[in-house]
A and B are shown apart, each in its own frame.
Chain A
Amino acid sequence: MVEAKHDVLIVGAGCAGMRAAIEAHDAGADVALLSKIHPVRSHSGAAEGGINAALGNASEDSPAEHAYDTVKGSDYLGDQDAIEILCNEAPGDVYQLEHWGAVFSRTDDGRIAQRPFGAAGAPRTAYAADITGHVLVHVLYEQVMKREIPTYEEFFAWKLVMNDDRCQGVIAWDLLNGGLKSIGAKTVILTTGGAGRLYVGTTNAYACTGDGMALALRVGVPLKDMEMMQFHPTTLSPTGVLITEGTRGEGAYLLNSEGERFLKRYAPNAMELASRDVISRAEQTEIDEGRGINGNVILDLRHLGAEKILERLHGTRELSMTFAGVDPIYEPIPVRPGAHYHMGGVDTDVWGLTEVEGLYAAGECACVSVHGANRLGGNALMETITYGKRVGRHAADWALSNTTVEVPPSVEADAERELKELLDRREGERPWSIRDELAESMHENFGVFRREEQMRKQGEIVTGLRERYESVVVEDKGNVFNNDLTQALELGFLLDLAACMVPCGIERKESRGAHARPYDYPDRDDEHYLKHTLVSWADGEPRVDWKPVTMTNWKPQERTY
């Protein structure tokens, strides 16, 4: 039964999804949001440090400088046309957020405050203390409420509806009431965020299971640069909870067990404000060489003083105290690298359109590519807003040009049959140990540093886990809030993505950005690998292809900080 039909249906309701919904609504389209969690629960809200735009409020700045820093930060794997669009549109998009009511921190003269962030040539990161993502999620949801945009809350998107070579809707499991529901749409936008749950140590929420990437992959859309998983340098152990880069933006030090600011040996100029990939590798090297403390290095805020910590980093203090038992006013915080952000994702053009007509993606779920091999702090929130806006506008315009919608009954019947098979299975393994083994092995074998033999071993592990998953059992057979079922489906998504990431990592025989192979290919190899990996699913296994990087103004140079 088709529940409803819309011009634009957006799967995922974080910053990118809500920004797209607002834009599509304002363009005159009938738009709906669909999300497995309530919009304000989205993981965009956990972004802390800020959002990058060349407002020039703290010093001279320009979109061109923002673009250069982003290109360099991407280790030249970012598409420069996409980056220029982002940096040019960013200031206007941030002003728009302010006019909607975003509670930004302010400069002494009442403008939006901006702080220095890693690998940025100017203090460019606009912020709301250290809860910037929270503030943006709420201001966007306020605008969604104002427009009365319908939201399918707690609907778990499980299948994309393909018909006539177009994506024409979504089949979703209704968590509150049970049952599969089909929602037809002229265009579908995937804004489901990242897949950090592939790793045991991650800043990502439980919800970050790469749903949109896997949905796209399963209807034949290639994923781009999937080997590029960013490890954030400052996550709390053991939980992986994020400590913002804003701490270093405000002047915090990273120290090893000898009390040394070890970055002087890795990034003597930028020190703690070097790029994230550089710092994560430095930390991991210190830990591996025995200069860590219980597998951590330490982040020292004490010299910033109580006043600054209380005013600008109160959320950080709250997190440190709750999850590490450490008050950063008096004690340093133990931190280590943790999986944080997927630069890779659904391959799209600069309007968020995929290879499949009617199917779009934006935000972390997509790979436009703005971030290339390494994302700069503060650019993710900006991408959700600017590309959320662009994808919403394009999808609305396309949908409003008289396209019809049909969800073929056979598609629904297939989904029902597949689900019944899963729910009827009573003998076998429950998903959690597969999930845990996947996350632990990815961390071990496909983490900050990568070795050929470990990656190959990981490929075998993933294959084995996928076989076990074939006979997985869902214990809850009920209809009401059956997240035992949806968590099993999420694991299926994660396994598909892991299977795609590993061969991309093996094929990229160089070190670039987040993909570091110090033991066999320690250098960047522009001659052979200045190109995107493109992975698609063919004959039951991943197939890796390549796609050129779009260059406009900037030639690759050696990247030092």
Chain B
Amino acid sequence: MHSELAPAPGSTTIDVALKIWRYDAETGEKELKRYEVEAPDWVTLLDVLDIIKDKHDGTLAYRKSCRMMICGSCGMRMDGAAVLACKTRMYDIAKSGHVPVISSMGNMPVIKDLVVDMDPFWGKIRRMKPWLDPGYEEPLEKERIVSQQQMNVIHKEALCIMCGCCVSECNSMESDPDFFGPAALAKGMRFVGDVRDQADVARLNDYNDEHGIWDCTRCYFCNERCPKGVDPRDAIAKLGAESIKEGIDHDMGAKHAQWFVTSAKTTGWLRETELVPKTQGVVEAIKQTRFALSLVKHGKVPPPFPPHVADRVGEARKLYHLVKEQGRDGALGIVQGEHALGRIEFSEQAGVKTTETETT
């Protein structure tokens, strides 16, 4: 019944070693400490931390509660990448002889050891006005009639457990700490995509502000590291698509995206030289004249007249009309990262059985 990855529980023990970045808030001292424990073969990273805290060092601090991937308490980094400690099986890692480095999540101030200050995280969540605006005060007598299909639009966003793993890994937030971040924006999409919410246009305007959806660099680390398959980057893409569909394009990011469409539709290729004025405006474009001249000098700028039109521009236009016809010019047009379930199915997490049926 059990695969090699997950041997029969309790049958054997393994030796597990960890190096943990300790941080003492009262003295400000940091130290990388190594711990070695004997543990049952089924242990997770969280179980190992518990053994260390019980039997070796009672001062080790980390958050935990449900130990079943639903409360979101135990986000931390293993070898520099965010994980839920309770989801991380240690068997393969220990058997390989690797000694992982455990540290606190990124992009959040450390309080002690593996405990971070999540106040800034929650501040950004609150900034999204994260509650349903039904457009009326008094509840109706019964439930609203909503199809399962309509609810499925926000299926992934509703899985979010607010663990902070995506925020920990967010490259945009590393350069701009005010960036709303993947968790907050996924929460935003949870309401924008909810057919029952009446504030979606106001929300989209708001989420288009500085530090908002267009500041995402699309590194996809949030999708990669989310332990629940929420795919926050996809949520951000959906917010972008919905914004443009609603004509909200006051951010350069939106203008930039729109120019890709216009350019492809008119000539079938991306006219990069026009991208800067179309995105940033004429004034900004003039400031970049020297850069433009340098491009010309290096033969990077084709002659503007007559404009080059791709041979098969018709295909690009057809695609454009197809998207419109099918109503896929908003969130529905966003090609999803793998479905949450698919991600679980093919997770490379130690202890998780992978199967051959990836196309089903």
Q: Which A residues are closer than 8 A to B by beta carbons?
A: 37-38, 40-43, 45-46, 55, 94-96, 98-101, 103-106, 108-113, 128, 131, 133-135, 138-139, 142-143, 145-146, 176, 205-207, 237-239, 241-242, 293-294, 306, 310, 314-315, 317-319, 321-327, 329-332, 334, 430, 432, 474-476, 478-484
Is B144's CB under 8 angstroms from A45's CB? Answer: no
A321 to B151, CA, bound (A): 26
Q: Mark B1-40, 1 if CB is under 8 A from A, else 0.
A: 1110110111000000000000011100000000000001
Contacts of B131 in A (CB 8 A): 100-101, 142-143, 145-146
Known contacts being A317-B344, A318-B344, A484-B58, is A40 close to B161, with CB within 8 Å?
Answer: yes
Is B360's CB under 8 angstroms from A306's CB? Answer: yes
Is A480's CB under 8 angstroms from B111's CB? Answer: yes
Contacting A at CB under 8 A, from B113-163, are 113, 115, 118, 125-126, 130-132, 134, 139-148, 151, 154, 158-159, 161-162
Nearest chain B CB to A239 CB, angstrom units: 7
Nearest chain A CB to B41 CB, angstrom units: 10
Nearest chain B CB to A529 CB, angstrom units: 35
Nearest chain B CB to A93 CB, angstrom units: 11
A55 to B141, CA, bound (A): 12
Is A106's CB under 8 angstroms from B146's CB? Answer: yes
Is A103's CB under 8 angstroms from B112's CB? Answer: no
Is B196's CB under 8 angstroms from A101's CB? Answer: yes
Q: Which of B73, B142, B144 contacts A37 (CB 8 A)?
A: B73
Please give me the residue from chain A that is nearest to B118 by CB atom: A38
Contacts of A145 in B (CB 8 A): 125-126, 130-131
- B224 at interface (Cβ–Cβ under 8 A)? no
Please give me the residue from chain B that is nearest to A128 by CB atom: B158
Is B40's CB under 8 angstroms from A238's CB? Answer: yes
User: Which residue among A96, A128, A481 has the maximum number of chain B CB atoms within 10 Å of its CB?
Assistant: A481
Contacts of B158 in A (CB 8 A): 103, 128, 135, 138
Known contacts being A142-B131, A206-B64, A325-B6, is A46 close to B147, with CB within 8 Å?
Answer: no
Please give me the residue from chain A that is nearest to B130 by CB atom: A142
Please give me the residue from chain A that is nearest to B134 by CB atom: A99
Nearest chain A CB to B215 CB, angstrom units: 23
Is B8's CB under 8 angstroms from A322's CB? Answer: no
Nearest chain B CB to A86 CB, angstrom units: 19
Is A95's CB under 8 angstroms from B143's CB? Answer: yes
Known contacts being A101-B132, A111-B145, A327-B355, is A40 close to B54, with CB within 8 Å?
Answer: no
Contacts of A480 in B (CB 8 A): 25-26, 61, 111-112
Is A131's CB under 8 angstroms from B159's CB? Answer: yes
Is B112's CB under 8 angstroms from A326's CB? Answer: no
Q: Which of B68, B340, B349, B353 contacts A241 (CB 8 A)?
A: B68
User: Which residue among A99, A105, A145, A176 has the maximum number of chain B CB atoms within 10 Å of its CB?
Assistant: A99
Contacting A at CB under 8 A, from B191-233, are 191, 194, 196-197
Is B143's CB under 8 angstroms from A206's CB? Answer: no
Is B26's CB under 8 angstroms from A479's CB? Answer: yes
Contacts of B67 in A (CB 8 A): 205-206, 239, 241
Nearest chain B CB to A101 CB, angstrom units: 3
- B69 at interface (Cβ–Cβ under 8 A)? yes
Contacts of B40 in A (CB 8 A): 238
For the residues of B in contact with A, the DSSP-based class is: loop
A37 to B355, CA, bound (A): 37
Please give me the residue from chain A that is nearest to B66 by CB atom: A205
A432 to B52, CA, bound (A): 11
Known contacts being A37-B65, A205-B67, A237-B9, is A110 close to B3, with CB within 8 Å?
Answer: no
A288 to B345, CA, bound (A): 35
Nearest chain A CB to B359 CB, angstrom units: 12
Nearest chain A CB to B58 CB, angstrom units: 3
Contacts of B87 in A (CB 8 A): 322
- B257 at interface (Cβ–Cβ under 8 A)? no
Please give me the residue from chain A that is nearest to B148 by CB atom: A106
A135 to B140, CA, bound (A): 21
Known contacts being A101-B131, A143-B131, is A242 close to B6, with CB within 8 Å?
Answer: no
Please give me the residue from chain B that is nearest to A94 by CB atom: B143
Nearest chain A CB to B171 CB, angstrom units: 26
- B334 at interface (Cβ–Cβ under 8 A)? no
Contacts of A41 in B (CB 8 A): 63, 65-66, 71-73
Please give me the residue from chain B that is nearest to A309 by CB atom: B341
- B271 at interface (Cβ–Cβ under 8 A)? no
Contacting A at CB under 8 A, from B291-346, are 340-341, 344-345
Nearest chain A CB to B137 CB, angstrom units: 10
Please give me the residue from chain A that is nearest to B157 by CB atom: A103
Subset of 10 A-B contacts with CB under 8 Å: A37-B71, A94-B143, A95-B141, A106-B148, A110-B147, A133-B70, A315-B70, A317-B344, A319-B69, A321-B353
Q: Which of B3, B24, B111, B139 contacts A95 (CB 8 A)?
A: B139
Contacts of B70 in A (CB 8 A): 45-46, 131, 133-134, 315
- B351 at interface (Cβ–Cβ under 8 A)? yes
Is B5's CB under 8 angstroms from A325's CB? Answer: yes
Known contacts being A318-B69, A321-B352, is A432 close to B3, with CB within 8 Å?
Answer: no
A33 to B132, CA, bound (A): 21
Contacts of A176 in B (CB 8 A): 111
Top 10 A-B residue pairs of the complex, sorted by shortest distance between their CB atoms: A325-B6, A475-B58, A101-B132, A110-B145, A432-B54, A142-B131, A146-B131, A99-B139, A106-B148, A484-B58
